[in-house]
Chains A and B, each alone.
Chain A
Amino acid sequence: MAKIDKAALDHIAELSKLSFTEEETEKMIDQMSDIITFMDTIREIDIQYDDTKDGNQIAYSQLREDKAKKSADAEKLLSNAKTGGDGDCYVLPKMME
């Protein structure tokens, strides 16, 4: 049985800000079902995550001071936006009428 149906795929596509054509949806349901069946091998082991262990050893006591510093040049940053730009603003489609 497929692990993922159309409703489930639509839901994760919505969370992912992606959408698929009908043909793509069919293919993606098959592939994601295979992938999730494979991921399900971890269900067979009974094990609990110990969240008292910090795996990445971030040195929280040694983080840099929270001081404002000069940021990247605004013109350089804006040059990557495909909007044509408007002064120092990004131009977006209307969010509400």
Chain B
Amino acid sequence: MDMTKTSLSALRKSLDDKQISAKELCAECFSAIESGEEGIGAFITLTREEAEKAAEKAQARIDRGEADFLTGIPLAIKDNICTDGIRTTCASKMLEDFVPPYDAAVMEKLKGQDFVMVGKTNMDEFAMGGATQTSYFKRTHNPNDKSRVPGGSSGGSAAAVAAGFVPAALGSDTGGSIRQPASFCGVTGLKPTYGRVSRYGLVAFGSSLDQIGPIANSALDCGALLNVIAGVDERDATSARLPHEDFTDKIGQSVKGLRIALPKEFYGEAVDSEVKEAVTKASKELESLGAVLVSCEIPSLKYGIPAYYLIACAEAASNLSRFDGIKYGLRGEGKSYGEMILDSRNRGFGEEVKRRILLGNYALSSGYYDAYYRKACALRQKIKAEYEAIFERAEVILTPTAPSVAFKIGSDDTDPVKMYTADMLTVPVNIAGLPAISVPCGRDKENMPIGMSIVGRRFDEGTIIQVADAYERVVG
């Protein structure tokens, strides 16, 4: 079975019609992983034994005629989402042996449907990176061209889907970490509105920016997965108090008259011409379906990267202060309490994580707080207002997901500033807390996938999924 061409609803039907058992489907995934994983490196931990048990339990539920949408469906989970009894490393030496004593809220929801977890996926350490090259354990390779990066930080999840190891996976997105790897690997990735999915049990990076979301082979599958993981949770005070809705409801509805804004700053010089051409062509396809293209501006985009990195790193510096080697994580040595903490952190964190902690504490420190952190928060308000103004004239915004296709492994990872600027098209969406979906929209001359992002109004995931699905249908 080619997992990249099989939708979740088709798998559901095959399981319900007894064309395949949950155990057989699980075995198919592990067989694909066995033959392909060595050159890809998508997983940090494979959970075959647990998966086989989960498949048995799922099958019993299917046999009783009580299957839910994900019963017996194999998925991969990013390794910063806590899994009760299964180690959760955040791709860091710091958490190499950490076994969470509880499940993240999204895991509770998935387990409630008796899904089958095949493993925990590789990522940039503590989700800090855009190439899945800063993991303590391994580098992940792009299934489209193994000499290239899969993007990041959810590169393991995107690669696992693109390689056909699993039909879908969960990632997390603080500044583009679902959408950019989806774009680089040629799959679909959805970052929900901030507050749509509970962050309880997601190891915190930038708490005002982080969201968990799906990576799959279609907009429909992303919507179907979001249906399962979304919802209010009293353990996450920022989770939105909204009634449950079906995010696939609008699929199939005409996009005639729907206004699609194209902010000119996202089509500037920093974006590769082949990427711009592909996304512009996609906008014309949508126009041919009756959508109306609207030109617009986000003048503050140029401040998006510094504002994002100041806010994200300030939050990360605070969040990561919990790693002191005492209750969990790498335990350092030292004669005194202070020495022990210092040694734990020096040895537990990688270089990029240290840089971001330093930047965060710099921005928060006395004498710099107003000039950096507070100013970044002011810019966040301005960027939000600029998006709101656009959404008065359009239902969605269409942009390239990343300025380029996936780059070669090792080509860009020595210059932090260069790496940060590569996030310029994704971070504004996190700053504004908006939902966005990255959809493949063609390939470049070297046959590498190009992705476009459809950004929606807050809590209007239904419309971006509708537009993405309409595009998928028209291009086949």
Contact = CB atoms under 8 A, between A and B. Distances in A.
Contacts of A16: 317, 345, 354, 357-358, 361
Contact of B378 (A28, A47, A80): A47
- Residue in A12, A38, A53, A83 whose Cβ sees the most chain B Cβ within 10 Å: A12
A16 B344 CA distance: 12
Interface residues of B, number: 70
B416 A35 contact: yes
Contacts of A58: 237-238
A12 B354 CA distance: 11
Contacts of B433: 55-56
A33 to B, nearest CB: 10
Interface in A33-82: 34-36, 38-43, 45, 47-50, 53, 55-59, 62-64, 72-73, 76-77, 79-82
Nearest to B307: A42
B372 A93 contact: no
A81 B99 CA distance: 10
User: Dominant SS at the A interface?
Assistant: loop
B355 A47 contact: no
A34 B104 CA distance: 37
B206 to A, nearest CB: 12
B268 interface: no
B361 A12 contact: yes
A42 B327 contact: no
Nearest to A72: B101
A32 to B, nearest CB: 6
B355 A42 contact: no
Given A15-B361, A56-B194, A77 B101 contact: yes
A49 B377 contact: yes
A39 B328 contact: no
A57 B194 CA distance: 10
B33 to A, nearest CB: 28
B379 A47 contact: yes
Contacts of B411: none
B354 A38 contact: no
Interface in A2-38: 9, 11-13, 15-19, 28, 31-32, 34-36, 38
A95 interface: yes
Interface stretch (B39-47, B149-157, B380-388, B443-451): B380-388
Interface in B338-391: 339-342, 345-346, 349, 354-355, 357-359, 361-363, 365, 371-372, 374-382, 384
Contacts of B300: 45
B309 A39 contact: yes
Contacts of A34: 415-417
Contacts of B137: none
Interface stretch (B24-32, B73-81, B254-262, B329-337): B329-337
B69 interface: no
Interface string B297-325: 00010110111011000000100010011
B416 A12 contact: no
Given A41-B306, A50-B378, A90-B327, A80 B99 contact: yes
A46 to B, nearest CB: 10
Nearest to A36: B362
Contact of A12 (B330, B362, B421): B362
Nearest to B356: A35
Given A45-B300, A45-B375, 10 more contacts: A38-B421, A39-B372, A42-B306, A42-B375, A56-B238, A57-B240, A59-B237, A80-B98, A93-B337, A93-B339
What 6 A-B pairs come out closest when comparing CB atoms? A82-B331, A80-B328, A76-B101, A49-B378, A64-B234, A15-B361
19 contacts: A12-B361, A12-B365, A15-B361, A16-B354, A32-B362, A34-B417, A38-B417, A39-B309, A40-B306, A42-B307, A43-B375, A55-B377, A56-B208, A57-B240, A80-B328, A81-B328, A90-B326, A92-B340, A93-B334
